[in-house]
Amino acid sequence: MKTSTPVTSVIAAIGATVITLAQNWKLAGFILVLIAGAIFPLCASGVFTFQITQLLIYAIAIAGLNLLTGFNGQFSLGHSAFYAIGAYVSAVLMTQLDMPFYLTIPIAAAVCFVFGFLFGLPALRLEGIYLALATFALAIATPQILKFKPVEHLTGGVQGLALFHLKPEAPFGLPFDQDQWTFYVTFAVTILMFFLAFSLVNSRSGRAMKAIRDNHIAAKVTGIDLSLFKTLTFGVSALFTGVAGSLSALLIAFVAPDSFQITLAIAIFVGMVVGGVGWIPGAFLGALFILFVPNIAEHIAFGLSAFFDLIRKVIPFFPSIGEQSAKGLTGTVYGVFLILLIYVMPSGLAGLLRLAVQRLARARS
Amino acid sequence: MSTPLLSAKNLRAFYGPTQILYDLNFDMHTGGITTLLGANGAGKTTTLRALSAMVRTSGEIRFDGKLISNKETADIVRLGVAHVPEGRGTFVRQTVEENLQLGGITQPASQISADVERVFTYFPRLKERFRQQAGTLSGGEQQMLAIGRALMLRPKVMLLDEPSFGLAPLIVQEMFEILRTLNKKEKVSMFLVEQNASLALELADHAYLLETGRVVMSGPAKQLSADESIRRAYLGY
Amino acid sequence: MEQVVQQIIGGLATGAIYACIALSIVMIYQAIDHLNFAQGEMAMFSTYIAWQLMQWGAPYWGAFFITIAISFVLGYVIERTVFKPVHNAPVLSHIVIFIALFAIINSMAGFIWEFTIKPFPTPFGTKSVLGEGLLSAHGAGMIAVTGVMLGMLYLFFRYTRVGLAMRAASANPDSARLVGIRVGFMNALGWGMAAAIGAVAGMMIAPVVFLEPNMMVTILLYGFAGAVVGGLTSPGGAVFGGFAVGVIENLASFVPHFGAEMKLSIALALIILVLTLKPSGLFGRRIVSRV
Ligand SMILES: Nc1ncnc2c1ncn2[C@@H]1O[C@H](COP(=O)(O)OP(=O)(O)O)[C@@H](O)[C@H]1O
Ligand SMILES: [Mg+2]
């Protein structure tokens, strides 16, 4: 009996797709993410869209650092420098050469790759705490270098560069406002960067990088050019973080030296550790942490200071140590969070997640 | 029978998740020299490290009748257990003098200089090298320094990890003579880990044989040296 | 020429600041084999304690010594409570802990004493002691205090048993345990001493830069530079390095375009240069050993 109506064939096609997707959960997940990304800015408020855009940008930066640390055993407290370079390259090209933003991303990436590669050369000779120190110094010096007088006409000096009037509009008359469009651009770049990161990690070079991390001698014996790979990894890591910086210039529409303080470098670093060293998707968890935990800490700090006010009413001695300001406690709460995190989850949120997944997998099999 | 000076009951040791020792049982008596033999990788060093609480263990270790397996390394040492570690554990940046002072760092300051002199009577070479950076000593000299450092503790027992390792045969002979003297004159009991079985069995009164983390044979040293299989596997004749 | 001499002497005075903080960095490096990124904050907090004591009416030198004692205890307690539990964790975790300490101490200071700038007294006076505006009494006093502190440290490490035990514990913790040294206790002691030295550094620096929670952030970098130039294993080298950084920084102001705002970059360049060319620093020890 033949009952091939259009309806049944559509149902059959949908069924086949569903089965393919169910069998290939990676593809299914990817499509889900695409759909979510496409719908998200249409449903969310402007502020929330902004925050999630920022989250994606941080995630790219953290993934960059994670390539360096997780796959090469090196680490950096100075990635704010590359973030800054990425942002400034885009900003300068847009303001000085009227270049469209999209074109500036690959240029920023290339410039950051070169800077990272160059910084990777001295970093080659440094291990552990010495590398931390050198990169820490880089991060502290970055805002000052950005204020360098002779290039002030390009960088705008202390004032920085405003890009509000240069933000690209959605093309083809698409009905998106600038924030929404910025999100879409960022979203696309994020997908591209993480695709690159995954491919890199799973490639021959990625395995070489891991070999270097795990065992120098073994890597040497198998004929890997150690120095070249380490410096290249530094370059690639800087490239990722630079792309993030470039996108941040678009999002904030403003670059200035003081946006790239050591606190930014520390945030990227903390994000990486929290997300889990050596696990690329952890970058999103890390980004989530550095974006929202400081806010949460501030809320808790306000709560605490109310509590202190109460104590002050009971113990008259209390006020003599000065006007209590709630904001002052934010750093304390944040620091305590970090310490607890290291105690409870030494391998980051990712470690916890992986543990749970392993348990589940074991329970199922 | 008196209580043993040092004893282990169901001793297990682990590096991370990997178990290295499986339910070791042994004891040694005051004044004696006990040797622990075994091939490379059998777990001899790990046994000594277990006794000094330098690896994760389970089971019971008693010293002088007291339970020590729940104590920290430094506290076990302070009871009079001097561990001469594999690789000699020299403080390479410090001078020979400072190395000896460190050996006696838990002892009253007043007895240090006399004890240093006493070490010199056994190891005159150290006197010549007194102000030299210890890292510059030869292997044999560093081994002497390690034993000298252990002596500074006025120990009840010495845990010696392959004192013959990497030394010329003549120096090894000399070293073992000194160990014998120390055992007799200073009344130091010894727990000696060795790969050089013939030398160790000559010196020791009691022996244990370790294979992949298990005691597979034990008894008086004479009896083990006479054993056919031991002879073939460890003594080579 | 006269200008150069002037700059050198001026550099020595600021160099004393860097030398102080470099010394405390090297101390903690000796004790725990680590650089403490919260070191500067600890020094800043100590300085606030001194300020508070003086507000409560303590005389300068009384506040000075009480602060040193309190700082020692605080350093000791921080090691025991915060650092000890993660002692065997990887370096990355340690750095996060330092970052956390940094945030906590910085914000606690702001919380307790507000973020406004406070003047801090000098016991030496502000008169010039070497020509007009060359070297202030405070600068000279600072150099003297650094010298005395270095001398005391030298004597402590060279001639006391605790000093010897501390050196042994940091150089070779396993062997140290095997001679009965409580290595954990020595680590905590090292933190305590570093905090005490940091307190002195803070109290010496505060009259120059004023007291505020962020006063140490950039100075810490100069301290690192000084410590690296001299060699992280050498207290004397660190002091020399600190002075050297001060002088170099001042002399660099002769280079066109290299005004005051580029000073930090000089510290950065010095750190990278020295670490790359001679990682053990000018006076750092190469370990001689035979295998
Ligand atoms: N630090 C370590 N981590 C993991 N395994 C180790 C470690 N040290 C030794 N082992 C393993 O423990 C076993 C016993 O080693 P060891 O006690 O050193 O043997 P021995 O001293 O008898 O030669 C060996 O298989 C060795 O590979
Ligand atoms: Mg061994």
Give the pLDDT confidence score for residue A316 in this predicted structure: 60
Closest CA to A110 of A134, A96, A93, A132: A93
Average pLDDT rounded to a whole number, residues A99-107: 87
Give the pLDDT confidence score for residue B81 in this predicted structure: 94
Quote the mean pLDDT of chain A: 80
Q: How many residues does chain C have?
A: 291
CATH class given for the domain over C2-277:
mainly alpha
Q: Which residue among B89, B92, B149 sits closest to C288, beta carbon to beta carbon?
A: B92
Would an 8 Å CB–CB cutoff place A140 in contact with chain C? yes
Report the share of chain B in percent with pLDDT over 90: 67
Indicate which residue's Cα is closest to atom 3 of ligand 1.
B15
Average pLDDT rounded to a whole number, residues B184-205: 90
pLDDT digits (tens, 9 = 90+) for A182-197: 888 888 888 888 888 8
Q: Is residue B41 in contact with ligand 1, taking CB distance under 6 Å? A: yes
Kindly tell me if the per-residue pLDDT of A137 is higher than 90: no
Compute the distance between CA of residue A91 and CA of residue A161 in angstroms, rounded to an integer. 7
Give the pLDDT confidence score for residue A1 in this predicted structure: 47
Q: Which residue among B92, B93, B105 sits closest to C161, beta carbon to beta carbon?
A: B105
Q: Are A339 and C97 in contact (CB < 8 Å)?
A: yes
The CA radius of gyration of chain C, in Å to the nearest whole number, is 19
Give the pLDDT confidence score for residue A321 in this predicted structure: 43
Give the pLDDT confidence score for residue A324 in this predicted structure: 53
Quote the mean pLDDT of chain B: 90
Q: Ligand 2 center to residue B168 CA distance, Å?
A: 18
Report the share of chain C in percent with pLDDT over 70: 91
Q: Which residue among C181, C287, C290 sits closest to B105, beta carbon to beta carbon?
A: C181
Residues 6+ apart with CB under 8 A from C258: C252, C266
Q: Which residue among B74, B98, B142 sits closest to C180, beta carbon to beta carbon?
A: B74
Report the share of chain A in percent with pLDDT over 90: 13
CA distances, C127 to each of A314, C16, C122, C139 (Å): 48, 17, 11, 10
Q: Which residues surround ligand 2, an ion (CB under 5 A)?
A: B 45, 86
pLDDT digits (tens, 9 = 90+) for A278-319: 788 888 888 998 888 888 888 887 777 777 777 767 766 554
Average pLDDT rounded to a whole number, residues A58-81: 87
Compute the distance between CA of residue C69 and CA of residue C199 in angstroms, rounded to an integer. 9
Tokens representing residue A172 in the block: 């083809």
Q: Are C111 and A328 in contact (CB < 8 Å)?
A: yes
Q: Is residue B80 in contact with ligand 1, taking CB distance under 6 Å? A: no
Q: Tell me if C264 sits within 8 A of A110, measured CB to CB.
A: no
Q: Are C180 and B105 in contact (CB < 8 Å)?
A: yes
In C142-171, the residues whose Cβ lies within 8 Å of chain B are 161, 164-165, 167-168, 171
Q: Are B92 and C172 in contact (CB < 8 Å)?
A: yes
Judge C/B contact: 3 or more CB pairs < 8 A.
yes
pLDDT band at B162 (very low <50, low <70, confident <90, very high): very high
pLDDT digits (tens, 9 = 90+) for B25-71: 998 989 999 999 988 889 999 999 999 999 999 999 999 989 998 89
Quote the mean pLDDT of chain C: 84
Q: Tell me if C76 sits within 8 A of C192, measured CB to CB.
A: yes
Would an 8 Å CB–CB cutoff place C160 in contact with chain A? no
Q: Are A328 and C115 in contact (CB < 8 Å)?
A: yes
Would an 8 Å CB–CB cutoff place C34 in contact with chain A? yes
Compute the distance between CA of residue A210 and CA of residue A261 in angstroms, rounded to an integer. 31
List own/partner pairs for A146-151 with CB under 8 A and 24 or more apart.
A146/A84, A146/A88, A146/A257, A146/A260, A147/A257, A147/C261, A148/C257, A148/C261, A148/C262, A149/C257, A149/C259, A149/C261, A150/C257
Contacts of C182 in chain B (CB under 8 A): 72, 74
Give the pLDDT confidence score for residue C288 in this predicted structure: 35
Q: Which of A96-100, B211-215, C162-166 has the lowest mean pLDDT?
A: A96-100
Most confident of A15-24, A125-134, C65-74, C275-284: C65-74
Q: Is residue B43 in contact with ligand 1, taking CB distance under 6 Å? A: yes
CA distance C97 to chain A (A): 6
Indicate which residue's Cα is closest to atom 18 of ligand 1.
B45
Q: Are C172 and B137 in contact (CB < 8 Å)?
A: no
Q: Are C104 and A331 in contact (CB < 8 Å)?
A: yes
In chain B, CATH 3.40.50.300 covers: 1-80+155-237
In C97-136, the residues whose Cβ lies within 8 Å of chain A are 97, 99-104, 106-108, 110-115
Q: Tell me if C166 sits within 8 A of C157, measured CB to CB.
A: yes
Q: Which of A88-102, A337-351, B146-160 has the lowest mean pLDDT?
A: A337-351
Of all atoms in ligand 1, which is nearest to the CA of residue B44?
Answer: 22
CATH number of B1-80+155-237: 3.40.50.300
Q: Is residue B48 in contact with ligand 1, taking CB distance under 6 Å? A: no
Query: Strand C135-136 to strand C128-130: parallel, antiparallel, or no bridges (unpaired)?
Result: antiparallel
Q: Which residue among A122, A133, A331 sits closest to C103, beta carbon to beta carbon?
A: A331
pLDDT band at A216 (very low <50, low <70, confident <90, very high): low
CA distance C157 to chain B (A): 12
**Structural domains of chain A in order of their starting residue, each with its CATH number:** 33-364 (1.10.3470)
Q: Ligand 2 center to residue A8 CA distance, Å?
A: 74
CA distances, A94 to each of A99, A178, B119 (Å): 5, 17, 78
Structure-token match 């600068």, residue found: C139
Average pLDDT rounded to a whole number, residues C231-242: 86
pTM: 0.83
Largest CA distance in chain B: 52
CB atoms inside a 10 Å sphere around CB A216: 13
Kindly tell me if the per-residue pLDDT of C286 is higher than 60: no
Compute the distance between CA of residue C219 and CA of residue A140 in angstroms, rounded to an integer. 11
Compute the distance between CA of residue C211 and CA of residue C205 in angstroms, rounded to an integer. 9
Q: Which residue among C178, C182, C287 sits closest to B92, beta carbon to beta carbon?
A: C287
pLDDT digits (tens, 9 = 90+) for B220-229: 988 888 877 7
**CB contact burial C210-230 (16+ within 10 A = b; e otherwise):** ebbbebbbbbbbbbbbbbbbb
* ipTM value: 0.92
- Residue with more model confidence, C21 or C176: C176
Average pLDDT rounded to a whole number, residues A328-337: 84
CA distance A63 to chain C (A): 16
Give the pLDDT confidence score for residue B9 in this predicted structure: 92
Judge B/A contact: 3 or more CB pairs < 8 A.
no
Tokens representing residue C106 in the block: 């910085």
* 8-state DSSP, C284: P
Compute the distance between CA of residue B123 and CA of residue B130 in angstroms, rounded to an integer. 11
Give the pLDDT confidence score for residue A200 in this predicted structure: 84
Ligand (nearest to CA of B55): 1
Residue of C nearest to B106 (CA): C180
Q: Are B102 and C181 in contact (CB < 8 Å)?
A: yes
Indicate which residue's Cα is closest to atom 6 of ligand 1.
B15
In C2-21, the residues whose Cβ lies within 8 Å of chain A are none
pLDDT digits (tens, 9 = 90+) for C150-193: 888 889 988 999 999 998 998 889 999 999 999 999 989 988 99
Indicate which residue's Cα is closest to atom 1 of ligand 1.
B15
Give the pLDDT confidence score for residue A317 in this predicted structure: 56
Which partners does chain A have (≥3 C-beta pairs < 8 Å)?
A: C
Average pLDDT rounded to a whole number, residues B83-108: 93
